[in-house]
Amino acid sequence: MKLHFLGTGAGIPSRQRNVSSLALKLLDELNEIWLFDCGEATQHQILETTIRPRKITKIFITHLHGDHIFGLPGLLSSRSFQGGEDCLEVYGPKGIKDFIKISLKYSKSKLAYSLKITELVDRGGELIFDNGWKVNYLPLEHGILSFGYRVEEPDLPGQLLVEELKKFEIPNGPIYGQLKRGERVQLEDGRWIDGQNFLAPDRPGRIVTILGDTRYCQNSKVLARKANALVHEATHEAAEEKMARAYYHSTSHQAAQVAKDSQVEALYLNHISARYLGKALKQLEKEACSIFPNSHLVNDFDEYKIPLN
Ligand code: ZN
């Protein structure tokens, strides 16, 4: 499980940063990639990575501001030419369906795969997928409806206690696979062995919270509670709290405060204004670290692994 930042800038593209997009790579877990937001030229950013668009199976849109969605029609169309035949699901606020359908209709774009667009309920809710993965979402405070998403991996079965099995002189072989699945197995010597007795406790699945643009607000903390990773915007430096509030954005301090109060493991700051370069950028990260030490100000193409606990 990895976070791969494709665009980390605020509002408009700059030489240093493209507009918003973030890939949650679930290649080992599901052989899928989930995309969060798709600002203009996200497909160009993807060309600089090893990401294959056909692996993108879900796209979550936080809100409908242009710097978060103008890349969608292009990416959706190109995916057709890149061998993308598997169904693609898009989730987002009301209006996302019209935006996509109309863009594709008037540009006479035909997709080679089926596209399922789901408009989410304004007050928030929960998406539960067949494979046990869950995504909770809640509205934040951004002037227009802006969602935060909390992705929850299902708990993972505990590992097989091989050393214990050896103590009982249970021979290695295909039987280990059955025991690992928690099955009861009879050995050649007639003994019955219950796999359940040789499994370590379940390992908790990981939680990743990715927030759309927002002011400092309570729902951010609800979504981020004890997450392994929190992605939070930091459009303003700490001294600009008033301005952040007026423009429905957050400061470095506020993002860090959310991380601290929610007891997350790591904070990733994105949606960085092009005004901040060099020293000012370092300062922004420092401000966050003064409240929540494990804060990282991210750049385009940064990749972070999210380890299991
Ligand atoms: Zn916005």
pLDDT at 113: 94
Q: For residue 60, report the phi and psi dihedrals to the nearest 5 degrees.
A: -110, 125
Using the mean position of ligand 1's atoms as its centre, give its distance from the Cα of residue 67 in Å.
Answer: 7
Q: What is the pLDDT of residues 49-81, one digit of tens each?
A: 999 999 999 999 999 999 999 999 999 999 988
What does CATH list as the number for 2-149+206-305? 3.60.15.10
Dump pLDDT digits (tens) for 229-283. Answer: 999 999 999 999 999 999 999 999 999 999 999 999 999 999 999 999 999 999 9
Going from N- to C-terminal start, the domains of the chain cover 2-149+206-305, 162-198
Strands 134-139 and 125-128, bridge-based pairing: antiparallel
Strand, coil or helix: what is 255?
helix
Q: What is the DSSP string of 28-50?
A: HHHSEEEEEEE-TTHHHHHHTSS
pLDDT band at 208 (very low <50, low <70, confident <90, very high): very high
| CA 103 – ligand 1 centroid, Å | 20
- The residues annotated with a catalytic role in the active site are 67
Category of 307 on φ-ψ map: left (φ > 0), alpha (ψ -120 to 50) or beta:
beta
Cα(18) to ligand 1 centroid in Å equals: 14
pLDDT in tens, 97-155: 999 999 999 999 999 999 999 999 999 999 999 899 999 999 999 999 999 999 999 99
| 196 CA from centroid of ligand 1 (Å) | 50
Contact (CB, 8 A) for 26 and 73: no
Give the whole-angstrom CA distance, residue 134 versus residue 225.
15
